[in-house]
Amino acid sequence: MPRSAVGILGIGAAVPEKVLTNADLEKIVDTSDEWITTRTGIKERRIAEEAEAASHFAVRAASKAIEDAGLMPEDIDMIICATVTPDMPFPATACLVQDRLGIKNVPAFDLSAGCSGFTYALAVGTQMAQGDYEHVLVIGVDILSRITDYSDRSTCVLFGDGAGAAVLGPVPEGYGVLAVDLGADGSGAEHLQLPAGGSLRPPSLKTISQREQYIKMAGREVFKFAVRVMESSTKTVLEKAGISAQDVSWFVPHQANIRIIESAANRLSVPMERFVVNVDRYGNTSSGSIGIALDELARSGSLSDGDYVVLVGFGAGLAWASALLRWYERGENRG
Ligand code: COA
C-alpha cells in the first residue's frame, strides 16, 4: 500500500486536427471500411502535420492537465514522458516539454513501454510523488503515423497520433492510485517492433529500402497476448486492493481494437457499458491512448468522486500495465 495517497489532480489531452478516415485508407491500400470496422472497430484516426512532433502534443496535453489541477507550471517537480516516437532519440522529449512549459531545474526523462507507456509512467510517477516530488507530470504521447508503413494494409489501418497527460499529487487518504501491476515478457519482443533506427540496425539505405523504419507486427500473436493480459493484469490489481470487478465504475483500456476490449469485458464478466471506448475515433495512439480516453471520460462528467477506475494497457515488449484508482474529484476546472 502507498505510504501516502497520491492520485490524479488534473488531466488533459491533445490530438491533431487532421482526420484520416477508412474511406481515405481505401484510396491508399487494398482495404475497405467494412473490413477495418468489423476487425478493429476503428472508423478514423488523427494524423499530425509534417511540422508537428510528439513534443507539440505533449506540451498541449500537459498544459491542460496543469490547468485542470489548478496549478502553475512552476508547481511541477518532475516530468515523465512515455513515448516510442520521441522528437529525437535524445534529448528526452520530457526535457523539450519542460523547456517549452518554462519549468526550471526539475528532473525530466522519457520512458519506453510501448502502448503500456502511460500506465507505466503513472506507476513510476506515483512512487516519485510518494517520495521527494510533490507534483509529477506524467505524459503519454505517440506520433505513430511517422513509423507506420502506409503500404502495409495489415498495420496502417490501426494507428493514429495523440497525447494524454496527468498531474499526480497528494489526495486524501483512501483516494488515488490504490494498486498497480506492471509486467513484461521479452520473449515476445519480436511480435511488435520497429526494427531499424536503433543501435542494432542504424538507419541506412539498406534499412530504408527494406522498410525497416516502420512498425512490424504479428497481429494474431499480439491479439492473443492482449486478451490474456487484459484479464490477468486487471484481476491482479483488483486482488491487490481487495476490490471486485463489479465494484469498478469505469475500465479505461488501451484502445487498440474493439474486439480485444470486448473479449476482456467478456472474460471479466463486466458489461461493455463500463469500458471507455474511443478507438473508433482515434485508432491506436500507443502511449497516448489511455490518457486520451481518461481525459474524455473525466470531461464527459461521467466520473464521480470515489469511483473506482481501472487503467489497463498492453503492447510492445511485450509489456502490460494496470492501475486501480479511486477517483478524487476536485471538480473546479473540469467541463
Ligand atoms: N484490409 C483488408 N484485408 C486485410 C487487411 C486490411 N486492412 N489487413 C489484413 N487483411 C487480410 C489479411 O491479408 C488476411 O488475408 P488472407 O486470409 O487472404 O491472408 C485476412 O485479412 C485476415 O488477416 P488476419 O491478420 O488473420 O486478421 P485478424 O482477424 O487477425 O485481424 C488485426 C488483424 C491486425 C486487426 C488483428 O490481428 C489485431 O488487431 N491484432 C492486434 C494488433 C494490435 O492491437 N497491435 C497493437 C497492440 S499495442
Q: Are residues 157 and 49 located together in one domain of the fold? A: yes
Is 254 an active-site residue?
yes
Spatial distance between the Cα atoms of 329 and 335, rounded to a whole number of angstroms:
12
Q: Are residues 154 and 218 located together in one domain of the fold? A: no
Q: Are residues 167 and 303 located together in one domain of the fold? A: no
Q: How far apart are the first and last CA of the chain?
A: 32
Q: 91: cis peptide before it, omega within 30°?
A: yes
**For residues 313-334, b (16+ Cβ closer than 10 Å) or e, as one string?**
bbbbbbbbbbbbbbbbeeeeee
Which residues of 175-214 form beta strands (DSSP E)?
A: 176-184, 192-193
pTM of the model: 0.95
CA-nearest of 327, 313, 13 to 180 is 313
Q: Are residues 15 and 127 located together in one domain of the fold? A: yes
Is 333 an active-site residue?
no
- Specify the pLDDT at position 330: 73
CA-nearest of 271, 254, 246, 250 to 325 is 250
CA-nearest residue, atom 23 of ligand 1: 154
Ranges of the chain whose pLDDT falls below 50 = 1-2, 333-335
For residue 1, tell me if it sits in a domain.
no
Q: Are residues 154 and 259 located together in one domain of the fold? A: no
- Specify the pLDDT at position 332: 52
Residues 165-223 have pLDDT tens digits of 999 999 999 999 999 999 999 999 999 999 999 999 999 999 999 999 999 999 999 99
> Pick the catalytic residue: 22, 115, 156, 278?
115
- Specify the pLDDT at position 331: 54
* 250, β-bridge pairs: 309
As for ligand 1, residues whose beta carbon falls within 6 Å of it are: 31, 35-36, 39-40, 115, 153-154, 157, 217, 219-220, 222-223, 226, 256-257, 284, 315
Q: Are residues 181 and 144 located together in one domain of the fold? A: no
For residue 112, tell me if it sits in a domain.
yes
Q: Are residues 66 and 95 located together in one domain of the fold? A: yes
Domain hosting 312: range is 177-333
- Specify the pLDDT at position 333: 43
Express the helix, strand and coil content of the chain in percent, nearest 5 each: 40, 25, 35
Is 191 an active-site residue?
no
Q: Which atom of ligand 1 is least distant from the CA of 25? A: 7
For residue 317, what is the domain's CATH number?
A: 3.40.47.10
Spatial distance between the Cα atoms of 126 and 134, rounded to a whole number of angstroms:
10
150, 173, 196 - which closes a domain: 173
173, 202, 222 - which closes a domain: 173
CA-nearest residue, atom 14 of ligand 1: 154
CA-nearest residue, atom 31 of ligand 1: 39
147, 173, 199 - which closes a domain: 173
